[in-house]
Amino acid sequence: MNTIKKIYLGFVLLLGSTTATANTIIDLSHQTPINPEQLIAKLISADYILLGELHDNPHHHQTRSQLITAITSKKYTAVVEYLPTGQSVRFSGSTLHSLEQSGFSPKAWPWKLYEPLFEAIRSSGLPLFGSNLDRSISKTIFSGGPLPSTMESDYQKSALTSDAKRSLEKDLIDGHCGKLPAQYLEPMFKVQRITDISMAQVMMRHSPAILFAGNGHVRNDYGVPQVLRSLDSSKKRVSIGFIEEERRDSKALTELAKLYDYVWITPSIERADPCATLHFGKSESSK
């Protein structure tokens, strides 16, 4: 039995543990369901694989940990949002301790959720590199400071189309529940773009590579795939958004086809309304 077939059977067991309708892979170019074996065949032909997530959904991390095992017949590098750029992990002792030595915060990225993903990366022997902006760079950009010299050229080369720029601005506003003070939009836009460029640069330095990051970072219109398309167009990219069952309908899938190559639909989870507790100070919103 070949490797892909073995992994496929493992996915059958995984998917069988929940409702059949709540674990579906959709090929968005054709708007048709495919099975894990078909998806894996597409992935292992790519130079860059981008796997999204909703950060708080454990199904997304568990499913991606299964995918890691399936696609390591090709020697990829794991590139993650959860560690700062320039940090590589050398595992020794516990996985969590090794990650913390490289800047991982189990408070920012709850270990109970992310443990299956990192244990799969470790078990598969993938080299592991961080790709997120250092906080000092984010703060400098947010306060109006210059872009890092190592990213300024790539920022210009990967400029967004007007439509993509509007989409990112809308998502930043919506992501802050419509409460984002106007003066914060431009610096947040720049931080998001430079973060995506940072992730793309790490992937290009360590190609072939798999990125593990939030769904916003793996979007084809304004995320890391757009940067890779602008800077390294000869390489093949595959982007997968991970969404929840409650978003399954034909209209939603049509819109998602503009953002990803595939979506993996998992069970939904219950969560509190994040907008209920999000507030900006009066002094900030009136500036």
**Per-residue model confidence as pLDDT tens digits over 250-272:** 789 999 999 999 999 999 999 88
Rounded to an integer, the average pLDDT of 27-54 is 95
Residue 83 near residue 102, CB atoms below 8 Å: yes
Q: pLDDT value at position 8? A: 52
Tell me the residue type at 235: K
Residue 13 pLDDT exceeds 70: no
Instruction: Please give the Cα distance from 270 to 249 (Å, whole number).
Output: 19
Rounded to an integer, the average pLDDT of 167-195 is 94
Q: Using alpha carbons, select from 101, 102, 91, 89 the residue that is nearest to residue 128.
A: 89
Residue 7 pLDDT exceeds 60: no
Residue 160 pLDDT exceeds 90: yes
- Tell me the C-alpha to C-alpha distance, in Å, between residue 16 and each of 9, 23, 34, 245: 10, 9, 16, 16
CB atoms within 10 A of CB 114: 23
Q: Tell me the pLDDT band of 233, cut-offs 50, 70 and 90.
A: very high
Per the prediction, the chain carries an average pLDDT of 89
pTM of the model: 0.90
Structurally, what CATH architecture does the domain formed by 3-270 represent?
A: 3-Layer(aba) Sandwich (3.40)
Residue pointed to by tokens 């720029």: 165
Phi and psi of 108, rounded to 5°? -70, -35
